[in-house]
Structure 1
């Protein structure tokens, strides 16, 4: 049998969704961004909402998301994605609107925007990539950087006396009455990818059902910023990040109710 007969699309175990473009991804090997992009593209395709989907990407490693997922996109200033998404969602109430943000963007310069958007219960999905560091701009300390973690601005490790404590901002978000679904996931294993996809599907459906804000944190690696190999980064994340940022649902309720697990 000729190899081209074997490689027919119907014989392949994995087929790339049509919503992922052919643009080569610029992310570092081992980065979690590409996996989350793939999940989002698959879900938007499978749920048949490509024409209704509008993503908002601010500054950071995720800013070029518009190159990879074939939907409408709007760029936002650093930290301002929830404010921009609020305007888009209110003008287009039947659209699926989501932000895609890193920890420096969302938990630092954008802390006010995310807290107030979630408190208002804006009908959007927030995808929060938490790798504990500023990945694009040189590896500086972020609000989520762990205690003792070495970064470009904490060369001797994060010192809580000087720098404060790592921020579990997703835990804070879960307390707000405007949020309907708040969860923390990871994509470093096949099982983790499946769980994250289920969580994102639920979050997207909540937006379509106008249940308020859904918030999905993805605990991630940054092997370039952490100065580790992809394999070592995954191991370090499992041993350090996930114990401090445990995975699982924190809230699953309709808008206006508190139902944290």
Structure 2
């Protein structure tokens, strides 16, 4: 029940699986570098197509498994092995990115808020269309050490202190929001045609000669 794809190619492989058997529940587990750098083009087009799959994107702000290089989600001004004097590029807000590309379910949680994150993933799976759940995670070695954020427990406390439930976020001023981020279901729309359903209709039209 599992496919291991090449780095950066999880989404096109998952798209092929879903098209081959639309009845399958397809869940993609990916990282911030995998999905938004080498796989960034695949991400926006999977969202654009609104293909029915759930993407759980682990955002630990770095390439944690391949040497600690900075990714498109590394916060501006952070250090990495490939940015010893800190990054100067603007980082992506991946939730806004996929929303703009056409995703119909977008959520964010953290590993500190484990039950909330679990519930968000379940809601994403239940949603009919392209779902992305950004899971804010910690990389104590490659990111934490470089940026003097302390050990694993300290980085979990950082998630606790900087993540804000959406209901509270909407009531905060711009000054209060500085340095923090919202968690919860950030965007959801129902009724937009899903890709495999549209593709089946296309096949029927072609077979009918219309």
- Smaller-chain TM-score bracket: 0.7 to 0.9
Which of structures 1 and 2 has the larger relative contact order (alpha carbons within 8 angstroms, sep 6+)? 2
- Tell me the distance in 1 between the aligned counterparts of 2:68 and 2:53: 29
1:120 equivalent to 2:49? Answer yes
Match among 174, 181, 187 for residue 111 of structure 2? 187
Match among 139, 143, 156 for residue 222 of structure 1? 139
Greater than 3 Å deviation, 4+ residue runs:
235-245
Residues 241 and 194 of structure 1: is their aligned pair in 2 closer, same or farther, counting only changes over 3 Å?
A: closer
Give the aligned partner of residue 9 of structure 1: none
1:74 equivalent to 2:10? Answer no
Report the TM-score when normalising by structure 2: 0.77
Give the aligned partner of residue 175 of structure 2: none
Deviation at 1:146, TM superposition (A): 0.9
Secondary structure of 1:247's match? strand
Deviation at 1:239, TM superposition (A): 5.6
CA RMSD of aligned residues (A): 1.9
Match among 231, 243, 246 for residue 153 of structure 2? 231
Residues 216 and 88 of structure 1: is their aligned pair in 2 closer, same or farther, counting only changes over 3 Å?
A: same
Give the aligned partner of residue 188 of structure 2: 252
Secondary structure of 1:116's match? helix
Unpaired runs of 5+ in structure 1? 1-71
Report the TM-score when normalising by structure 1: 0.62
Unpaired runs of 5+ in structure 2? 165-178, 194-210
Match among 169, 174, 187 for residue 94 of structure 2? 169
Match among 47, 58, 68 for residue 139 of structure 1? 68
Give the aligned partner of residue 13 of structure 1: none
Residues 231 and 141 of structure 1: is their aligned pair in 2 closer, same or farther, counting only changes over 3 Å?
A: same
Q: How many residues are matched? A: 174
Q: Is the 8 A contact 1:212 1:255 kept in 2?
A: no
Residues 142 and 241 of structure 1: is their aligned pair in 2 closer, same or farther, counting only changes over 3 Å?
A: farther
